[in-house]
Structure 1
Amino acid sequence: MATTACGEPIAARAESSRRVAGSAMLRAIRRRLLGIDPREVLLARRGVTAVDSRAGARLEQIGETFVSGYHAALESADDSELAQRLEAVERERRGFAYEGAAMALYLLDALTPWNRSRWQRFVNGPGNAHAYMIYVGAGWAMARLPMGIGKSLSQMDSLLRWLAIDGWAFHDAYFHPASTVQRGERPRRLRGHALRAWDMGLGRGLWFALGADVSQIAERIGSMDTDRRADLWSGVGLACAYAGGVESTDIELLCALAVEHRYWLGQGASFAAKARQRAGNPADHTDLACRLLCGLSAETAAQITDACLEKIAPDDGDGRAFDAWRAAIAARLREVVA
């Protein structure tokens, strides 16, 4: 039997090379078919006017990071390679790359029924520290898939699954602002507590769809039904604290415009602080937002989310525990600020 210099059979080496080449070709095809045009994140392309150049640059940078993570997942041979590529992203922006990767993994699972474990394996493995962002990323994929979401949600963590609904709403605010941001429409197939998770995601989306213009954001929320506003403000607070892009004066104005919902702003900021704490990617702008919206440092705000969760009964899957958790955080912040 012919062998290589290392003693490996030539036929075996050739077969291995063919498999590698075939796998690389498959990944290239995935990128070609499922890739996102990087221009889709440009504000001008989306018809968005940022409140100023600093905010505009930041929002576009976040979009670019998301898309890079998405493409990394399409192109990587395995979880190890993907994690290595994501970890190479600048630490403060790394969560957005994980979010994009999660969208791609979830899409691939849906499109290849013979291999549907990519997303779950990643969130349980190398992506676990970024679990919040990975659930949100799954929601982006759900927004693009024609099938129902009931079965998908039932297979997710009973508490964090609602972040996928949040991600779905954010996706639609980002790409379909006329129906979601301007008209405030929600999917007819959502019911009960899922609608609250949707509005939280829509609130996050307002930050990007309205260019971090806090006056426009407040005006848009004020045009929607009163029973939706707390959740919308919660999402705005999360985006303000996690994504950033504005000065302290803008955050102070945001707090003033929220009026009685300022504690829900703080609740969202606390979620942002917790997501960054868990992922180990703290940011100065997150700490600033927490100090102005919560009256606390980002570290303390994150600790409050943990303390409130300990007092909440396990989620039975209908979203009540998730909403109770958020309400408990808002109530605790009311005590702190008072």
Structure 2
Amino acid sequence: MAGPWRALRRRVLTPGVSNTKLEVRGFHEKDAAARDLLETVGRSFLEGYAYAAEARTPEEPEERLEQVPRRFRGFAYEGAAMGFAVRDGLPLGRGGWTTRFLAGPAARHSYMAYVGVGWAMARVPRFRWSRLELGDPLLRWLALDGYGFHQAYFRTEKYVREQYREPAFPWPGGDHAWYADHAIDQGVGRAMWFVGGADQAVVADLVDAFAAERRPDLYSGAGLAATYAGAADEGELRAFRDRVGEHLPHVAQGSAFAATARLEAGLADEHTALATRVFCGMSPEEARELCDRTRPATAAEVPDEPGVPSYEVWRRRITAAFVTGAEVSP
């Protein structure tokens, strides 16, 4: 039983569950089944967030997180990572919660946990970002994916319908400052799967309304969400595959990332296999092998692609495997 202070902290820090309802958010509702699944994703995220908000240590929530149904467990870990990052970033935050959570309970959920830290970036003052765990040179870009998802999910009119892009995004700065917009757009594209209610035609219309140079990143994010979150059957996934045209390699890259994240966490399911078969023409295990094989040997900048973050080099290598279409079944 949580003590009074911990219970109060949970109530104060945790957003209301109504925020997960498609109707409240003004998102498209394809059908009852898709709505229920997408809303369960949101509730699972908030469940993990609440566990972190009231935890006495970063290790404490693990037992409860492991009790979340397998299909939604990764989202609970994502929410918990946000919760610990918010606690680190608050003015009276003690620091170190996120680092311990990533190294401990969330070690197998690194993809989702880094995305969760990005949600916190949208909620804590920017001058406190240095207190968040963003040290991995390769995976830290997933935090901006999380930031982009948050903005598109909660500020949909501005970031999706008005297609807003923040000028001179301040993090991480330096030689790779140019890439922040691309990483954020991957998260915006992932959120579009939710904004569009997992309706492939609505999602594609949303993405295609953006400038052509933004669509590869947006479609990559949508492919990741279609694979990891689901809420679409085989016919709908195939229709999405056929609709995206030249952007299919980017959708496949996002799908391969999603399969890798689920396999590393032990959370792959029938939908994972279906989505990678449709988008990638391979099994989840083969998609993971492709990601492992193309992953840069060093998290630092790759010598033969100066000025390009290793994370983007990785994504380009995966995408290149699908450019010829040889990896995708008819």
TM-score (norm 1): 0.88
Cα offset, 1:185, TM superposition: 0.8
1:162 maps onto 2:141 in alignment = yes
Q: Which moved more, 1:183-192 or 1:50-59?
A: 183-192
Name the CA shift for 1:155/1:38 in 2 (closer, same or farther; >3 Å).
closer
Q: Alignment partner of 1:79: what SS?
A: coil
1:69 maps onto 2:59 in alignment = no
Cα offset, 1:82, TM superposition: 0.6
The equivalent residue for 2:111 is 132
> Alpha-carbon deviations, 1:34-62, whole Å to 9, x = none?
12111110111111222222211110010
Deviation >6 Å, runs of 4+: none
1:266 maps onto 2:255 in alignment = no
Q: Distance in 2 between matches of 1:83 and 1:132?
A: 17
1:327 maps onto 2:306 in alignment = no
Q: Distance in 2 between matches of 1:330 and 1:113?
A: 43
Cα offset, 1:107, TM superposition: 0.4
Counterpart pick for 2:98 among 110, 114, 119: 119
Q: Alignment partner of 1:236: what SS?
A: helix
Cα offset, 1:319, TM superposition: 5.7
1:234 maps onto 2:220 in alignment = yes
Cα offset, 1:75, TM superposition: 1.9
> Alpha-carbon deviations, 1:263-305, whole Å to 9, x = none?
1000000000010111111111111000000000111101101
Q: Distance in 1 between matches of 2:127 and 2:166?
A: 12
1:303 maps onto 2:289 in alignment = yes
Q: Is the 8 A contact 1:181 1:202 kept in 2?
A: yes
Matches within 5 A, 1:91-240: 91-111=70-90, 113=92, 115-148=94-127, 151=130, 155-190=134-169, 191-240=177-226
Q: Is the 8 A contact 2:196 2:203 kept in 1?
A: yes
Q: Is the 8 A contact 1:139 1:165 kept in 2?
A: yes
Amino acid corresponding to residue 165 of structure 1 in structure 2: L
Q: Is the 8 A contact 1:153 1:161 kept in 2?
A: no
Counterpart pick for 2:243 among 241, 257, 262: 257
Q: Distance in 2 between matches of 1:319 and 1:26?
A: 46
> Alpha-carbon deviations, 1:103-145, whole Å to 9, x = none?
1100001115561000111101121100111100011111112
Q: Distance in 1 between matches of 2:133 and 2:60?
A: 29
Q: Is the 8 A contact 1:136 1:165 kept in 2?
A: yes
Name the CA shift for 1:209/1:118 in 2 (closer, same or farther; >3 Å).
same
Q: Distance in 2 between matches of 1:74 and 1:149?
A: 18
Amino acid corresponding to residue 104 of structure 1 in structure 2: G
Name the CA shift for 1:132/1:140 in 2 (closer, same or farther; >3 Å).
same
Q: Distance in 1 between matches of 2:271 and 2:16?
A: 29
> Alpha-carbon deviations, 1:73-119, whole Å to 9, x = none?
11222233211110111122110000011111000011155610001
Cα offset, 1:314, TM superposition: 2.9
Cα offset, 1:222, TM superposition: 1.4
Cα offset, 1:320, TM superposition: 1.8
- The runs of 5 or more residues in structure 1 that have no matched partner are 1-20
Counterpart pick for 1:90 among 69, 75, 79: 69
Q: Which moved more, 1:303-312 or 1:120-129?
A: 303-312
Q: Is the 8 A contact 2:85 2:132 kept in 1?
A: no
Amino acid corresponding to residue 265 of structure 2 in structure 1: A
Q: Distance in 1 between matches of 2:102 and 2:132?
A: 15
The equivalent residue for 1:9 is none
Q: Which moved more, 1:50-59 or 1:198-207?
A: 50-59
The equivalent residue for 2:174 is none
Q: Is the 8 A contact 1:159 1:319 kept in 2?
A: no
Name the CA shift for 1:221/1:114 in 2 (closer, same or farther; >3 Å).
closer
Cα offset, 1:24, TM superposition: 2.3
The equivalent residue for 2:300 is 314
Q: Distance in 1 between matches of 2:263 and 2:131?
A: 27
TM-score (norm 2): 0.91
- The runs of 5 or more residues in structure 2 that have no matched partner are 170-176
Q: Distance in 2 between matches of 1:122 and 1:201?
A: 22
The equivalent residue for 2:173 is none
The equivalent residue for 1:18 is none
Q: Is the 8 A contact 1:194 1:319 kept in 2?
A: no
